[in-house]
């Protein structure tokens, strides 16, 4: 059994769409989970539908949504304070040092992050790479396992099938509740993910039907 | 934000003319454009806290798509596709263009203090 799980993603809502079912499963087993969230999604273009956020009010709105989502999942939240969309231009060795310091304090047995170069958004790829670099520099005796999430088009043709497949159907209600906490983003992102025309009324039902599993690749540190 | 009213927004643009102001200018179709539609391109640009002084500015257009041009000493600031605006609680003029799903496509913001 895991002792502590750390989730490292750059945006408020990445945890909901990518790993909320897996997180709920760990929490049910009594495993503590900490979410290190890279940014506040300041540059998101979903502003609610109908629009209720502005470019300037969005960070505070998304911060509150993130805090609510973490309450639903019952996880500890740490916000890392980077800025959305420009994470890849930061000095990534510094980001990696920052993550390494946090990981050495938390001392997790498992880290969940994005698979660098296979996670579509440049922020995902950059923070995933920094996280894996941080873990790779940890002492082997205390080094956590890493599960990396990929979802770029055609990723399985290159990477093969993910070795970690979490059946999240028993936790789908928690996952959807977590997604719906991100009110400014939920409808827009769910529309993309499910490929359906969503309204405020039908999105919960469609989401409950849509999510069945969350998949990850166990990172192989031998390859570095 | 509320739908653009030419007269109201023009008054706000006039109020910032001749002052040293900070600009946020942005256009985006999102980081997932190509992921969702293979034929689409990811295109976007933004500049945050550019300092300019404009001699005068105008808002033009009709219906749901407006253009704003600000004439500076050495050039121009321009945005197209704006359809919503507000003066926020920090007295900043926020203008944006949203698509049918409420997603931001373009934004031009003017403030006397840094964003």
The whole-angstrom distance between B76's CA and the closest CA on chain A is 22
d(CA B63, CA B76): 24
Give the tens place of pLDDT for each residue, A183-208: 999 988 998 888 888 888 888 898 89
d(CA A165, CA A53): 36
**Predicted ipTM of the assembly:** 0.95
Give the tens place of pLDDT for each residue, B6-43: 999 999 999 999 999 999 999 999 888 899 889 999 99
Provide the whole-model pTM.
0.96
| Residue A222 or A25, more confident | A25
Would you list the domain boundaries of chain B?
2-111
Chain A interface disruption, residue of B44, B102, B103, B114, most A CBs within 10 A: B102
Q: Is the Cβ pair A45, B32 closer than 8 Å?
A: no
Cβ pairs bridging A and B (under 8 Å):
64
The tokens describing B53, both together, are 């002084």
Determine the pLDDT at residue A223. 58
For B2-111, give the CATH class: mainly beta
CB contacts of B31 in chain A (<8 Å) are 85, 120-123
Determine the pLDDT at residue A41. 98
Closest residue in A to B34 (Cα) is A120
Numbered residues of chain A with Cβ closer than 8 Å to any chain B Cβ: 43, 45-51, 54-57, 85, 120-123, 152-153, 187-188, 191-192
Give the tens place of pLDDT for each residue, B39-80: 999 999 999 999 999 999 999 998 889 999 999 999 999 999
d(CA A114, CA A208): 24
Determine the pLDDT at residue A194. 87
Which domains, from first to last, does chain A contain?
A: 5-223 (3.40.50.10320)
Query: Length of chain A in residues, anyone?
Result: 224
The whole-angstrom distance between A49's CA and the closest CA on chain B is 5
């Amino acid at each position: 059994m895991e002792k502590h799980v750390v989730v490292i993603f750059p945006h408020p809502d990445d945890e909901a769409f990518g790993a909320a079912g897996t997180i709920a499963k760990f929490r049910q087993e009594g495993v503590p989970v900490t979410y290190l969230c890279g940014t506040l999604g300041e540059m998101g273009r979903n502003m609610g539908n109908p629009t209720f956020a502005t470019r300037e009010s969005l960070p505070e709105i998304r911060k509150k949504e993130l805090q609510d989502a973490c309450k639903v999942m019952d996880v500890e939240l740490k916000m890392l304070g980077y800025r959305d969309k420009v994470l890849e231009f930061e000095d990534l060795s510094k980001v990696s040092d920052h993550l390494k310091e946090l990981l050495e304090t938390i001392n997790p047995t498992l880290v969940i992050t994005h698979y660098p170069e296979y996670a579509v958004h440049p922020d995902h790829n950059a923070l995933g790479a920094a996280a894996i670099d941080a873990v790779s520099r940890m002492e082997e005796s205390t080094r956590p396992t890493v599960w990396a999430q990929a979802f770029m088009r055609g990723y399985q043709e290159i990477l093969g099938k993910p070795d970690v497949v979490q059946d999240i159907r028993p936790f789908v209600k928690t996952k959807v509740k977590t997604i719906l906490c991100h009110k400014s983003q939920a409808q827009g992102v769910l529309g993309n993910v499910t490929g359906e025309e969503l309204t405020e009324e039908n999105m919960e039902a469609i989401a409950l039907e849509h999510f069945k599993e969350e998949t990850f690749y166990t990172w192989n540190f031998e390859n570095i | 934000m509320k739908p653009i009213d030419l007269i109201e927004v023009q008054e706000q643009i006039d109020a910032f003319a001749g002052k040293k102001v900070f600009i946020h200018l942005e256009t985006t179709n999102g980081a997932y454009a190509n992921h969702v539609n293979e034929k689409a391109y990811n295109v976007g640009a933004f500049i945050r806290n550019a300092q300019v002084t404009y001699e005068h500015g105008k808002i033009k257009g009709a219906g749901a798509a407006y253009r704003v041009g600000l004439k500076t000493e050495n050039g121009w600031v321009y945005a197209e596709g704006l359809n919503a605006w507000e003066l926020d609680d920090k007295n900043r003029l926020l203008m944006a263009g949203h698509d049918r799903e409420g997603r931001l496509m373009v934004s031009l913001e003017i403030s006397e203090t840094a964003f």
